[in-house]
Amino acid sequence: MRLLVTGGAGFIGSALIRQLLAEEPSAVVINADKLTYAGNLECLESVSTSPKYYFERVDICDERAIRQLFDRYEPDAVIHLASETHVDRSIDGPSAFMQTNILGTYTLLEAAREYTGGARRSSEKEHFRFLHVSTDEVFGSLGLGGYFKETSRYAPNSPYAASKASADHLVRAWYTTYGLPVLITNCSNNFGPFQFPEKLIPLIILTALEEKPLPVYGDGQNVRDWLYVEDHCRALRRVLAAGRVGESYNIGARAERTTLDVVRELCLILDELQPRQNGRSYQDLIHFVQDRPGHDRRYAIDPTRVTEELGWTPLESFASALRKTVLWYLANLQWCERVRDGSCRGERLGVMQ
Catalytic residue positions, numbered = 136-137, 160
How far is CA 63 from each of CA 42, 103, 225, 266, rounded to the nearest angstrom? 27, 10, 36, 43
HSE on the CB side for 294, CA within 13 Å?
18
Q: Determine the Cα–Cα distance for residues 314 and 283; give it in Å rounded to an integer.
A: 29
Q: Determine the Cα–Cα distance for residues 89 and 135; give it in Å rounded to an integer.
A: 16
Give residues with Cβ within 8 angstroms of 189, minimum separation 6.
136, 224, 225, 226, 227, 299
SS3 call for 2 = strand
Q: Determine the Cα–Cα distance for residues 77 and 116; give it in Å rounded to an integer.
A: 11
SS3 call for 78 = strand
How far is CA 273 from each of CA 263, 287, 331, rounded to the nearest angstrom? 15, 22, 11
How far is CA 345 from each of CA 196, 209, 257, rounded to the nearest angstrom? 11, 14, 26
User: How many other CB atoms are there within 10 angstroms of residue 141's CB atom?
Assistant: 17
